[in-house]
Each structure stands twice: as C-alpha cells, then as structure tokens.
Amino acid sequence: MHERKQASQPEGILHTLLSIIVLVALVLGLTWGLRTFIFQAYEIPSGSMETTIMPGDMVLSEKITYYGRPPAAGDIVTFEDPDPEHMGRILIKRVIATGGQTVDLRDGRVYVDDVLQNEPYTHGEPSLALRSYLFEEITYPYTVPPGGLWVMGDNRTNSQDSRYFGAIPESSVTGKALFIYWPLTDIGLL
C-alpha cells in the first residue's frame, strides 16, 4: 500500500499542473474572445468629447450592436485612427452623418441634409470648419461617401475629427461606446 501512494504522488502533481495549465489557457482564450468579439475597455486620453466623456474616464465599448446594424447618427463610436502615423490608436467620436448624407457647417452650426441638428451635448460650442491636414481639403457641403461615417467630437473647439480627416470607413469602427465605468463619480450610460 505504501508503494502505491508513492507512485500516485507524481501522477497527482502532474494532474494538478495539467489542470492549472488548462484553466489558464481557458481564461486567456475567454478573455481574448470577449475582447475580440464582445467588448473592449478604453481610457479617454483627451478632451475631444467633453463634457459627455472627460479625460481619464474609462469607457466600455461593445461590439454586438454592429453585428446587426450599421452605426447610426447619434451613436458614440470607437474607431481606428485614420492617420497612418497613429496606426493602431483608437479614437472616440459621435456619428453625425452616414453614407450618402450631406454635412454642412454654417455659422458654427451643423446641418445634415439641410436640416439644422439639435446638439445639446455641444453646450453651444460652434462647429467651425477646420483646415484638413490629413488628406485632401474638405469643402462644404460635404457628401459622406457610401460606407462612410462623418464623426465629430462633442467638444467642437478641441477635437480633430471628420472636419480634419474626412469621413471614416464604417469598417474602421471597433465598437459602440456603452457606458463610463470609472471613475465612480462619472459612471453612467452614454
């Protein structure tokens, strides 16, 4: 009987190690799957979405919504920075217009398809045209190309957005910003 216990101890240790390895692999695989297909957390680095989202806020962006429908005007989206110098960087802005719609900026106000937009989240900040530095000069009225999105930060005087880089491709969207989860003083749905 004593010999039998000694023979099973190495098997027991091996079984325990194998169990731990399988558990770690399962956790890592689940984490990767959730981040890739379900949601992603982001820390907001700038004030381009103030006062809706403040610098330092932690935001959860979910990906499920856009499996069933394309982004719509009013959605706050995370997307890949179109500037090749910042490849891999994720930005967050509000969708103002979608493919085929025409955006115009007149007297600091935003018009989509000739309709003045009600934008209380800008707190009356003017939406002035910016000089496009990234690609070609943007002229208004501007028609968003099919499969494109016109995005703008809520802090219109401090946001490099579609006024700077033009429409973004829908395919660059990484998710829909769902809620702020940190700090606790800012927690809430977007």
Which tens digit of pLDDT belongs to each residue from 12-49? 888 888 888 888 888 887 778 767 777 888 899 999 99
pLDDT, residue 8, reads 66
pLDDT above 90 covers a percentage of the chain that reads 57
C-alpha span between 43 and 107 (Å, rounded): 33
For the entire predicted model, the pTM comes to 0.82
CATH domain 40-189 topology: Umud Fragment, subunit A (2.10.109)
Which tens digit of pLDDT belongs to each residue from 131-149? 666 667 888 999 999 999 9
Residues marked as catalytic: 48, 93
Q: Name the nearest CA neighbour of 98 among 119, 79, 75.
A: 75
